[in-house]
A and B are shown apart, each in its own frame.
Chain A
Amino acid sequence: MLTTLLQNVINALQWGSFYSMIALGYCLVYGVLRLINFAHGDIFMVAAYIGFVFVGFLLKFMPGSGMYGWLVLAITLPVTMILTSMLGVFIERVAYRPLREKGAHRLYVVITALMVGLVLENGNLAIFGASSRKFPEIIDKVVFTFAGVRITNLKVLVIVTAIVIFIFLQTVVNRSKIGMAMRAISYDKFGIPLMGIPVNRVVVFTFIVGSSLAAIAGVLFGMSYPVLDPYMGMIIGWKAFIAAVVGGIGDIKGAFLGGFMLGFIEILIVSFFSSNLKDLIAFTILLIILVIKPTGFFGVAKSTKI
């Protein structure tokens, strides 16, 4: 009984890690631009594909096992982060910034974000076709067993990565210059150029960080659940977004914990009910939380954005 419970906790932590990493990307962009970047889930999907293509390329030159497997991962991660960041910055430049500079209402920007997501999904469909792709296995699976609870090295990697990302983001936002500018812009965008700081520099930095997080999540997700398809980012992106809102969007801690909360709720439901009921019950619970506390679980009434 206890073993089963602990096993579920491990699984919940792993899923929560994925939700959190994606939710943090939503949270950063929302905090800085007040934009719900609905394309973020699809950026995650593209990142998984970039990782897939790049790993395939590397495996032509080196074996995907043992130390080499880790080397492949160590090269793939930064490359995917850079390419995905370029995509994120490109999207901001061609789709969001022109609207911002014309003073468009937020509604139009959100709709644009939805359309960007659809373009990414269908662009992917055009390139890779409808059949799903299999992410190659690069890390030799190692299973650790503690008191009957099994945990793979990959799960450990996922969970540790999510926590490291969270600590890193907290440090950047609270201790660095650009982080302070991000906090400031979330409170008052008008005041930023008055301090001599170019607004667009803060925005581009935010998209680089957010897209890099999606890239890490995409590669790790591909390694954990190796079947890739063009729509994989949609549902997980929505879920992560909802998790961020329920946690308290605009607050890094809120988005991070919201992701884990969703992970735990889902896994607990699956362990007691049929998995068909997972999303129904999970989102009913989240709905109730939001109705009771519209600012989100960890959110504050206003002001403390990112």
Chain B
Amino acid sequence: MLEVKDLKVRYGNIEALHGISFTVNKGEIVTLIGSNGAGKTTTLLSLSRLPKPEAPTVVSGDIIYNGESLLKTPPHEIVSKKKIALVPEGRHIFGNLTVNENLEIATYALEKGVDVKAGYDQVYSLFPRLYERRKQRSESLSGGEQQMLAVGRALMCGADFIMLDEPSMGLAPVLVQDMFKAMKVMNESGMTILLIEQNARIALQFAHRGYVINTGEIVATGTGAELMEDPEVKKAYLGG
């Protein structure tokens, strides 16, 4: 489904990814784990094709999605045409809009005739908390609820491939569990997921496969279970 080939990107003159390659197959949950500054977010931003200065410039390599290169695709078409959604770090919800309006705005780029109501039903059944708060300004939500809203928006976009950037960040452990369970439910109903996490333990537990990224390079790969048992990974990311 997604194939990243020897991707090199830079911010200004600084090369941030030194040629990384990985694949995500349809229906998988794939995680990229690594420490702060390893290039995880840079990878997702490259895939999102957002313009400078938000995202890096691709130097070489390619991003192939369903057989076509994404390098020339503008960022809004990544969502509206390719159906790839990004749930960014920091969530970037529209705090001045209500919860419901945040979901509504995600439907604007959908083709005519798409069942929007089914989308709301799906999001609200996945995250009942959001339904309770649907008329509130979204900046009044807690961090966990904002994260749910950010994921909900990605679902409303009609995406069948979702990229999640650190969904566990700043959340209480019980909420992290909830978030990953919701992700599992989404995956079981057909969603392909690319997940980025600093919390390697939970990410590997839920993911089918994983890649370990370190200073802009892929240094290890395997199934979630294999990486959990890998002595190097254990030492560096799972606390021994």
- Please report whether the interface of chain A is mostly helix, strand, loop or mixed according to DSSP: helix
Which chain B residues numbered 105 to 142 have a C-beta less than 8 Å away from chain A?
A: 105-106, 108-110, 139
Is A198 touching B74 in the complex (CB atoms < 8 A)?
Answer: yes
A187 interfacial by beta-carbon distance below 8 Å: yes
Is A196 touching B79 in the complex (CB atoms < 8 A)?
Answer: yes
In whole angstroms, how far apart are the Cα atoms of A238 and B75 in the complex?
37
Total number of B residues with any Cβ neighbor in A under 8 Å:
32
Which chain B residues numbered 19 to 77 have a C-beta less than 8 Å away from chain A?
A: 48, 50-54, 74-77
* Smallest beta-carbon distance B75→chain A, Å: 4
Closest to A195 in B: B106
- Please report whether the interface of chain B is mostly helix, strand, loop or mixed according to DSSP: loop
Partner of A193 from the list B79, B101, B105 (CB cut-off 8 Å) is: B79
Give the interface segment out of A6-14, A116-124, A178-186: A178-186
* Smallest beta-carbon distance A254→chain B, Å: 14
* Smallest beta-carbon distance B103→chain A, Å: 10
B86 interfacial by beta-carbon distance below 8 Å: yes
Q: Which residues of B contact A101 (CB under 8 A)?
A: 51-52
Tally of A-B residue pairs with Cβ under 8 A?
A: 83
Is B93 touching A191 in the complex (CB atoms < 8 A)?
Answer: yes
* Smallest beta-carbon distance A100→chain B, Å: 9
Is A195 touching B153 in the complex (CB atoms < 8 A)?
Answer: yes
Is B92 touching A194 in the complex (CB atoms < 8 A)?
Answer: yes
Q: Hey, what's the 0/1 contact readout for A165-202 against B, CB within 8 Å counting as 1?
A: 00000000000010011011011101111111111000
Is A194 touching B108 in the complex (CB atoms < 8 A)?
Answer: no
- Give A residues with C-beta under 8 Å from B: 101-103, 177, 180-181, 183-184, 186-188, 190-199, 303-305
Q: What 8 pairs across the A-B complex have the smallest Cβ distances?
A: A196-B109, A196-B80, A196-B79, A103-B53, A193-B75, A191-B92, A184-B94, A198-B76
6 contacts between A and B (CB under 8 A): A101-B52, A183-B96, A184-B94, A187-B97, A193-B78, A195-B76
